[in-house]
Amino acid sequence: MEAKASAAGAVYTESGDFCTAPRKKSVVPVSLTSSTCQYFWSYDDDQRGFHTYDSMHKLNPDFFIQTGDYVYYDKPGPLATTPKKARHKWHAMDAWPAIKDFYKSTPAYFLKDDHDLLADDASPLSEPYGELKFTDGLRIWRENVALRNQPYRTFRWGKDLQIWLVEAGNSLR
């Protein structure tokens, strides 16, 4: 994977590997992990971040589902009242070594929730949170989680498992 802060910026690379989903007719065992509602300052290891990611990594799951509230714009550290601070929350969370190591070898599916977009119970009708508007939160979400413009996603994992990930509603596309 390669990334850079701007078109003229330095290129940063990370390497990793993971397996893609098995063929639709394959009968295979499946192992998945999931989490939700993680707050940056609730880490339990001041060097690696969250023990749960190291524990999940040891399980070597086929994939991971993050079910929302990956970041909290409306919790201190700092309060994300501007787009710049909202991006900071994503970058800070993704910088924990335990999270980085986990995602290097584990495919992930993310669902968005209210705190990932603005604040508690956010909707397109919500008032801005400081300077941060709902549309800003949605744009920043899409910068961090590549999705098609649908309120749901589905994927098969072999013959026996099909997963549907339903977003909070069409209004949150």
Amino acid 152: pLDDT: 79
Is the residue at 45 inside a domain?
yes
At 21-39, the pLDDT tens digits run: 899 999 999 999 999 999 9
| C-beta separation of 41 from 51 below 8 A | no
Residue 157: domain span? 31-172
Is the residue at 56 inside a domain?
yes
Is the residue at 113 inside a domain?
yes
Amino acid 28: pLDDT: 94
| C-beta separation of 61 from 109 below 8 A | no
Give every residue of the chain whose pLDDT is below 70, as ranges: 1-4, 148-149, 168-173
Amino acid 91: pLDDT: 95
Is the residue at 58 inside a domain?
yes
How far is residue 100's CA from residue 118's CA, in Å, rounded to a whole number? 24
Is the residue at 43 inside a domain?
yes
Helix orientation angle between 97-105 and 83-95, rounded to the nearest 10 degrees? 70
Between the CA atoms of 127, 128, 133 and 134, what dihedral angle is there, to the nearest 10 degrees?
-40
Amino acid 170: pLDDT: 42
Is the residue at 142 inside a domain?
yes
Q: How many domains does the chain have?
A: 1
